[in-house]
Amino acid sequence: MKIRATTHRAPTGTPSLRIRTAETPADWQIAHAMLDDEHLLGAGREAGDRLCQFILEEDRIVAVLVWCAAWHLQDRDTLIGWDAVTRSQRLKLVVQLRRFLVVGKTRRPNLASQSLGMGLRELPGQWLAEHGYRPLMAESFSDPESHHGTVYKVTNWTCAGETKGFSQNHTDYYLPNDRPKKLWLKPLAKNACALLCAPEVPEDCKAGLTDGGGARSPLKVDQLKSLRDAFLQVPDPRRPQSRRHPLSAMLTLIALGLLMGGRDMLGIWRRVAKLDERQRAAIGLRVRHKESGRLKMPGYDALNDLMHKIDPKAYATALNEWLQTHAGILPRSLAFDGKSVGNGKCGMIITLCRHEDGRPVAMTPATGKKEDSEASEARALLASPEVRLENALVTADPLHNKEPTLRVVVEKGGHYLIGTKGNTSNRYEAVEKALEGTPFLT
């Protein structure tokens, strides 16, 4: 679609400024060449949808503005009020000022602020014409070591904090550069933050919504339903008036959070809080927000309280039966360890997991002191009939270097590799003697 140039009056005594967008590959080549010649960072590369604005004065290009897709930024998301799912669906409604250049030989006082102000006024309409949806927020960055962001202050941007000091290299990984930037935000519509969080966005913004979002669950929807069904027979310890969410759904959330790498209950809750609507429905959640109609996630306290009350043996049996049914014979290289839940107030979760990716294959909750409870419950987990150890190499920390535990591994057809410490003097001396003269003792 061809975009007409727009003219704005400049202060008395100065030529009028006009704005037009890059419409052809040749226009983009001109913009990139100018940026490579004069911009401190060069032209760089744009991500996702993009738009280039030329500011002209008497048919000369005096400024170039390049806009593109925004990134995930914690300070911006917090200021807007986004959760992870809403952000992932609406991130395209935020556009980033990727490059801003005022041509050196045409510079004069106020030209930068006039050019940026003109670009901002025309941006929503031009972006809508180019990409089919209207953005609601603009963002940009300034380097405190280079300038103070005066042009953003003059054009009424809001400083929303600093970045973490990482940059993206050619492999798409983010590397630390020890140079955090200031983050600036500019609403492109009245009540932009409210619109970005509202149950429905304006009609001309809807084409910018995406279906993605939420956490990357290690289980597909059908597997989530199967995991939920595995907990249907676990007794519910809650009072009838406290059963807002189905027990099977809450137990599935805890198990899924462990599979996603949660190390304690807070870590578990933070991971599952990002699940999207399809995942929440598959798990069996039913309560919906009155305003948005979306399925509501149980809070951290609800999950944490449930771990105090649930029968750990019934939960572990149901979970391990499901894990073994879907995993078959366990991998050859396994590790097990215990992680505290609720800073130790709720006991711990002992996990047997794969070395290559940390994915759990068997778990059990435990209560009591770490030294006693973890060792005995881990031994019971290994001895469980659901756990198969044929040809498996099991590793663990020195806490589990106990003869009864190691005997379980050997009797079930597995092998072990366990560390030891000097505070167990007899065992340590025996190890030194056995390994003397071998390359394993250094």
Q: What is the pLDDT of residues 262-316, one digit of tens each?
A: 778 888 888 888 788 888 999 999 999 887 788 888 988 899 889 888 888 888 8
CB-based contacts of 321, cutoff 8 Å, min separation 6: 230, 386
Q: Does domain 6-208 have CATH number 3.40.50.2300?
A: no
Q: Could you tell me how many residues make up the chain?
A: 442
Give how far the C-alpha of residue 10 lies from the chain's centroid of Cα atoms, to the nearest Å: 45
| φ, ψ dihedrals at 54, nearest 5° | -105, 130
- Give the pairing type, strands 158-162 and 166-168: unpaired
Report pLDDT digits (tens) over 58-112: 889 999 999 998 887 877 888 888 876 678 788 999 999 999 999 988 889 999 9
Give the pLDDT score at 340. Answer: 63
- Give the pairing type, strands 393-396 and 415-418: parallel
Beta strand segments in 332-396, E: 333-340, 348-354, 360-366, 393-396
Where are the alpha helices (H) located in 135-264, listed in sequence order? 150-154, 192-197, 221-230, 247-259
Domain locations along the chain: 6-208, 217-310, 326-442
Percentage of the chain surpassing pLDDT 90?
29
User: Which structure tokens are listed for 238?
Assistant: 């809650």
CB-based contacts of 416, cutoff 8 Å, min separation 6: 393, 394, 395, 396, 406, 409, 410
CB-based contacts of 423, cutoff 8 Å, min separation 6: none
State the average pLDDT for the chain: 80
Q: What is the 3-state secondary structure (H, E, C) of 65-86?
A: EEEEECCCCHHHHHHHCCCHHH
pTM over 0.95: no
Report pLDDT digits (tens) over 423-439: 655 667 777 776 676 65
CA distance linking residue 289 with residue 279, whole number of Å: 16
Which of helix, strand or coil describes residue 127? Answer: helix
CA distance linking residue 307 with residue 268, whole number of Å: 12
Write down the CATH number for the domain with range 326-442: 3.30.420
CA distance linking residue 247 with residue 320, whole number of Å: 17
First to last CA, the chain: 72
Between helix 300-309 and helix 247-259 the angle, nearest 10°, is 100
User: Which structure tokens are listed for 79?
Assistant: 């200021």
More confident residue, 283 or 321: 283
Name the strand (E) or helix (H) holding 217. none
